[in-house]
Structure formats: structure tokens, C-alpha cells
Structure 1
Amino acid sequence: MIKYFRPFIIIGLILLFAGNIWADDPQPNFITTEKPGKIIQDIRVSKDSFNPSKGEEWGIYYQLNSKAKVNISLYDPDQELVAVLINQKPQGKGKKSVLWDGKDIDGQIVPDEAYFFTIEAVDQKGNMEIYDPTIFSGGEEDDITQGSIDSENGTINYRLPEMGRVSIRLGISGGPLLRTLVDWKPRLTGEVTEYWNGKDQDNLFDLQSHPRFKMLITYFSLPENSIITYGNKKLGYFEYKTGQKNRPKKRDYPGIEIGEREISKHYAMPRLMDRSPRVVMTFPKSVRLEEDNLPVLKGKTIVHVELDKESKKYFQEMKFEIVFFLDGEFYAEEETGYSPYNWIWDTSQIKEGTYILTVNLASFKDQVGLLSKKVKIVR
């Protein structure tokens, strides 16, 4: 049921073990960089990011204290296998290294994203050690409370204390979310610059100058020694994942957790699901369309809201809180709505004129789709 004029604030809002080298699966010893094992120690990487499209490579370094059979596998943020860098290879004692050229198991350059690796080793006595950064790092969420907006250069600048996956949401305090500028994308440690024109997603609000403008920057940490790739202008992560067959997932270790950490609810979600769905809003009972497809509405009319074709594949069965705003002010909501949704809007309560109608579709897992459109009300 639609409810009217209640204050509402929306801002603030495994399987197969690839290359398993232990047939009898003895009890492993899980190691970290701070607590090295008896077999593996001194695990390092050459850098935090690289551009495979330009032929660059990235290195993993480690030391073996005894002869061992080694497996090094790379995984995407959904913990699915990307590449096997060393496959059950016997190695002698000493310092070791392996390079990755940024290509997956099919020889394709991976899309721009954050990836992580595991090292598994078993010595000649059958002792097993595993370096898996996901069991002791990654997923801790925090807000960035200090940042600056450079209007002249059209940038937002902030400092990230560690490698993380970032969300930047922009809107009106006590009103709608109007733009998801960064939608849980990986970023490097240090000073970060994002580009923004000062407006909402649909270029209808001069958002930066709004007296109740609000910006929320949130991130969660990436697993230790993650690598961020960049420079792939031909293929995005969404297209990459939807165009491939299912790959083996990293082995899970129930009950194994090193240290204490609070995990963000976004961390374990599939990347294809943890994003802002795209929204379509139409007016099937409009009186007419004026220039620039401006819908003219009169009396009781229908506002039809639904997810776009691509978003339906992933969000169709989700429940949403569907919230409508008029010129940035709360107007009505449906607390448990689905897509598609038809809102019966009695425009006779509103003075004649042109308005901006905004809809927010907020899932209960904190994904928010949004859209704003100009409408004209007549008698």
C-alpha cells in the first residue's frame, strides 16, 4: 500500500579445489605473511596494479624452506578460478617467483578488476601449508569521512587507507539517492581522484550546489596481496562473467578464520548482484508528449516502474522498497514492492507546472536503482 508524506532518508544506505594436490587431503596448516609456515614464507608481490593490455606482467615471490609440490592459483572477486600459475610442480628449497601476464585459463586478457591468489604446498613428509588471504583479510568495511570536491576540475578527491572496493553515493539528505558515482569498484591505497560533473545521474539536478547535498563514501578492504588490473578497453567484468562457462570455485574452509574482523554484507555477494540495477520509468496514461519527450500528466495517472532487460536477470525476484520523490522531496513509498510496479498517482493534489519525479528502488541487500524524469502536470 502506498503511504504518503512520511519523512524518509535513503542516503546511508565452495566446490571444486582447482589443482588440489593432496589426494588424501591431510589437515593443512594455514599461514599468513605475519605468521609464516615451516614450508612457505616471505610471500610478496611486485606491485599493486598493472596493465596487461600493454604487455606488462606482475610477480609473486615466496621462499620454500624445503622441497615441496606447489600450486599457485588466481581467482576473481567471485572466487572463481582465473588462472593456474603453477600446477602441482615439485620445487626445491630456496627463493621462488612466478609471473602473471594478465591472461586467464583461456588465454584472454582479464577485465579491469581486483584478483587474488592462493599458494598450496606439501613437502616430502606430507605436511601441507596453505596461504589463502581470504581467511584472514578482506571485507572489513569503513566510511571515508574526509574528502574534497574540486568544482573547477570536476573531481572528488579522497584518501584510501588500504586497497579496497569503493562505493560513492550522492544525493539529498532526507531525500533521494540521485547518483551512484562509484559502484563498489576496486581502488588502490593512497590518494584517489574520481571525476564528477556536479550533477545527478540524469543531469536534472545541480546536485553539488543543493543546500542538502550529501555524499557517502564507503569501502571494504580487499584480500591481502590483491592485484588490480587496468587498461582493458574491450571487455568489462559484467560481459566477461556473463559470457563464460562456470569455472571451478576456490575451496572453502568452514570454520577456518584467522583473527577477528567484521565483514561487510557486500563482500561475499557476487559482483553481478552487488551493483545498482537500472530502472525504466514510463507514463502509459500520459495526456501527450511535449518537446524533448516531456510527459504531460493529468488527474489520476499511472507511473510504470521496472528494471531494464539486463537487470531483470539478476534482480527480478528481489523485493524492493520503492520510493518516489517530487523535486527532491519525499512523496510516497511502497515498502515491499516488486518489479514491474504500477503506481496510481493522483496529480490533482499538485499545482500545475513542471516537476522532477525521482524513483529509488532499494533492495533489502542495499542495492539501489534510481531514475529521475521531468513531468508536466496540467488540469
Structure 2
Amino acid sequence: MQLPRLTASAVTRPGVIEMKQIINSKTWIVHGLIISSLLLAPVMAAHAGLTIANVSAEPAIFKPAKDKTIKVGFTINEPAHVQLNIYDARDYLIRNISSKKVLSAGNHTLTWDGRSASGQPLPPEAYYYTLEAKSATDELSEKPVVYDLTDKTGGETVYAVKVEYNPKDKKVHYALPATARIFMRVGIEKGNIYGTLINGAIRQAGQQTWSWDGWDQSHVFELGTHPKLQVYVEGIALSDNAILIDGPPPAMPTYVSLKPDEIVRRKAQPKPPGVNIHARHQRELCRDFPVTLTLPDNIKQSKQGLPLITGKLPVKMDLRPEDVVMLESQRFELVYYLNNNLVYENEVSYVPYTWIWDPKTLSGGTHYMTAVVVGFDGHFGMSTIKFQ
């Protein structure tokens, strides 16, 4: 049997279905016509066909001294109000630009000047754009159509190649096959990590360098001349809707300051399988962190001004309060190294943590003890002390 069609004679306003549902039934009254909700579905779908396509941003790398605006182009297939949203890596809304009027079906462009909503320049970082379109003809549609690639693309692990430290110019030389948010850490081959040089900051594809004085995180011993020095550089690929604001590359990301009542977060979606673990993290909680490692205040000093260890003593490790909050949400373990050799670990750690160390087998001379906090989500903190 052929189903009856709902024609224009059933409505008083072209393009709009005016209706009401008969209470507790699957039947609707559309201007006097009684129809099943099964017949209504195809009619509603016809008004839910708004799409956003052919989206691009130019330039993808915004140079404030050279470029005036970033142009985000797109195509819509029916008249709509469109809004361009700009988010930072924390998923905080930084700026929105409205079309202000209904845009006709076809190609359009919205522009962004690379600044915050208050007109302030933004720090060098990656920013992410989304588009929201609200149909001008489908009054039944309450939710806008959203174009957002933030969680659908990117997140793959990016490994640096040709990584080398030159102790003469005191620079780490490396190359990235793709623009990425990277971590650069230094340590000893098959041993411990002794410092974080780049802490989750953006670096562009291609040949790169980073200055390093060759010393460990605590500036206790020179690591750059060690024959087994290892420099680890890896990161996560950016999503396809990322726009970079160019500038001097930082050691760690900085963000625009927002008041609590100004914070609006993007509605994030689950990441696809196979992405790097750091791609799943809340960005402001994805970082390596400082550690404090201390001996008792009343310990004797050697002639060289170093702590003089003569017997069993407490070694205390602590973190900043904000880092404790971060680590408690992801679990962590504590590891102690003596002269790059593992001497103690605790997989059920808490902070502050005091380890009673007995140096009875330790020979004379100068020694180094390092405490490393290893977050189970791939974050590290370390501190080294020197003693005799």
C-alpha cells in the first residue's frame, strides 16, 4: 500500500510544520490531518539536512607581526546562522565570532584577528576552531549542527628524529615529522630521567633546536658530557582544526587568564583508540612537575660544604599542592636512585613521603641521590641531592 504524502496544503507557513501530539499516543494532528508519527519522520528529516562542509583555515600558522586575520571558510547547504568558536588547549572558549545575520546556502568566510574576547594578544600556542550552524528554515531543530575535529583527529604519537646534543653550542638538535605538542627529557641510557627541558609545549614540523646548559633538573651535576646521555623527544600530533599562533617557543605552554565566571568549556567527545596517552589528558593537568628532596636541617657539612652522611637518616620528598592534586587523580610511584642505580621504590606512594635510608654499604666520596616520581599517566618529577 502506498503511504499518503503530507503536502503543502497541510501547513499555513511554508517550510514549517505546525503540529501537536495527541496525548499518550503515537498520533499527531497537523492542521487537522491525523497522521502516524511514522509518517512524520521523513518530513522532519527533510528539515534536518543542514550540513557544514569544505572547512578550511588560512593561515594555519598565524604570525601576529605579519598577518591581520585568520579566515575560516566553509560551505552550508541551506540558510543558517553560523558561529565560529575559538578554544585554547584547555578547551576554554577564548573567542566567538557570529555571522550576525542569516547566511545563504553556499560558500562563506568568518574571520578572527588572533586575539581574545577582550582584545588581548594570545600567547604562542595551539588554538582550535569549531563551527556551529543553526538552520534559518527548520524551526523544529533546537540543536545546532556542529563542526568539530578536535577529538576526531590528531593524537597520534610523534617521534623526533636525528636527536643530538652538542655540548659545544649547548643545544639539542632534532627534527619533527609533524607539528606536535612535545616533551623533551634528558637522562642516562638504560637508567634514570634527570630533567625535563620541554614540558608539553608546541613545536612545528621540521628541524628544531633547544638550548640546554647540560645540567640536571636540580643543577647538581653535569649530564651533557655523560657518555651515555640520552635525550628523549616525543609528542602528540595536533588535530586538523588547530591554528598556531607563532612566537618564541616556550618551555611549557602558557594560557590566557580567565575569571571563573568567564570559563566556558568545549563539550569534548571520547578520543578514538590508539592515540597517545597524553592526548586523553586534560591539558592543564598534563605536565611534568618539580620535586623537592631534603635531608634533615641539623646534618653536618663536609669541608666542601656538602651534607656529610654518617648513618641512617630520613630522606623527605614533597610536591607542590597543585601537583599533588594532579597526581592523586592518576596514581604514581616513587623511585630512589643512588648514583644512577635503583635502591628503593614504592608503588603505593603518598606525599610528603619520608624514606629512612641506611647508607651502611656506601663507600666514601661524593654521591648523588635522585628521587623520581612516576605518574602512571606518563608524567615525571625528579630532584637530585649531592652529598659525601
Name the TM-score, length of structure 2 as normaliser.
0.76
Matched, 1:191 2:207: yes
CA contact (8 A) 2:79 2:137 kept: no
CA contact (8 A) 1:357 1:373 kept: yes
Letter in 1 for 2:200: W
Partner of residue 386 from structure 2, selected from 358, 374, 377: 374
How big is each residue's C-alpha offset from its partner over 1:73-110, in whole Å with a ceiling of 9 and x where there is no partner?
A: 01111222111122664223444323322322343333
- Report the CA distance shift for 1:41/1:55 in structure 2 as closer, same or farther (over 3 A): closer
How big is each residue's C-alpha offset from its partner over 1:174-231, in whole Å with a ceiling of 9 and x where there is no partner?
A: 3211111111211222222222223322333332332322222211111113112244
Instruction: Give the aligned partner of residue 220 of structure 1.
Output: 236
Q: Which has the higher contact order (CA 8 A, sep 6+)?
A: 1
SS, match of residue 185 in structure 1: strand
- Runs of 4 or more, structure 1, over 6 Å off, are none
Partner of residue 98 from structure 1, selected from 102, 110, 114: 110
Structure 1 residue 276 displacement after superposition:
0.9
Structure 1 residue 305 displacement after superposition:
0.4
CA contact (8 A) 1:114 1:186 kept: yes
Instruction: Give the aligned partner of residue 350 of structure 1.
Output: 362
Alpha-carbon distance in 2 for matches of 1:27, 1:250: 27
When the two chains are superposed, the root-mean-square deviation of aligned CA atoms in Å is 3.4
Alpha-carbon distance in 2 for matches of 1:222, 1:50: 16
Matched, 1:133 2:149: yes
Aligned residues: 340
Partner of residue 288 from structure 1, selected from 265, 281, 300: 300
Alpha-carbon distance in 1 for matches of 2:347, 2:45: 49
Structure 1 residue 253 displacement after superposition:
5.1
Consecutive unaligned residues of structure 1, counting only runs of 5 or more, are 1-25, 29-36
CA contact (8 A) 1:46 1:60 kept: yes
Alpha-carbon distance in 2 for matches of 1:292, 1:112: 44
Alpha-carbon distance in 1 for matches of 2:113, 2:324: 35
- Report the CA distance shift for 1:319/1:136 in structure 2 as closer, same or farther (over 3 A): closer
Partner of residue 338 from structure 1, selected from 337, 350, 354: 350
Matched, 1:67 2:83: no
Alpha-carbon distance in 2 for matches of 1:63, 1:302: 66
Instruction: Give the aligned partner of residue 188 of structure 2.
Output: 172
Instruction: Give the aligned partner of residue 163 of structure 1.
Output: 179
How big is each residue's C-alpha offset from its partner over 1:25-45, in whole Å with a ceiling of 9 and x where there is no partner?
A: x999xxxxxxxx974333222
- Report the CA distance shift for 1:44/1:177 in structure 2 as closer, same or farther (over 3 A): same
Letter in 1 for 2:147: Y
Consecutive unaligned residues of structure 2, counting only runs of 5 or more, are 1-43
Greater mean deviation of Cα atoms: 302-311 or 152-161: 152-161
Matched, 1:269 2:269: no
List aligned pairs for 1:14-33, cutoff 5 A. none
- Report the CA distance shift for 1:157/1:325 in structure 2 as closer, same or farther (over 3 A): same
Alpha-carbon distance in 2 for matches of 1:289, 1:109: 51
Partner of residue 151 from structure 1, selected from 161, 167, 171: 167
Letter in 1 for 2:306: L
Alpha-carbon distance in 2 for matches of 1:242, 1:323: 37
CA contact (8 A) 1:287 1:298 kept: no
Alpha-carbon distance in 2 for matches of 1:369, 1:320: 10
- Report the CA distance shift for 1:42/1:338 in structure 2 as closer, same or farther (over 3 A): same
Letter in 2 for 1:178: Y
Partner of residue 251 from structure 1, selected from 262, 267, 281: 267
Name the TM-score, length of structure 1 as normaliser.
0.78
- Report the CA distance shift for 1:41/1:204 in structure 2 as closer, same or farther (over 3 A): same
Alpha-carbon distance in 2 for matches of 1:364, 1:67: 49
- Report the CA distance shift for 1:101/1:244 in structure 2 as closer, same or farther (over 3 A): farther
Alpha-carbon distance in 2 for matches of 1:243, 1:371: 34
Structure 1 residue 304 displacement after superposition:
0.6
Alpha-carbon distance in 2 for matches of 1:333, 1:27: 61
Greater mean deviation of Cα atoms: 320-329 or 152-161: 152-161
How big is each residue's C-alpha offset from its partner over 1:294-328, in whole Å with a ceiling of 9 and x where there is no partner?
A: 32222011111000354345335664311111222
Alpha-carbon distance in 2 for matches of 1:44, 1:239: 24
Alpha-carbon distance in 1 for matches of 2:245, 2:362: 51
CA contact (8 A) 1:286 1:297 kept: no
Letter in 1 for 2:174: Y
Greater strand fraction, Structure 1 or Structure 2 = 1
CA contact (8 A) 2:161 2:176 kept: no
Partner of residue 210 from structure 1, selected from 226, 241, 251: 226
Alpha-carbon distance in 2 for matches of 1:51, 1:286: 55
CA contact (8 A) 1:61 1:96 kept: yes
CA contact (8 A) 1:281 1:304 kept: yes
Structure 1 residue 348 displacement after superposition:
2.2
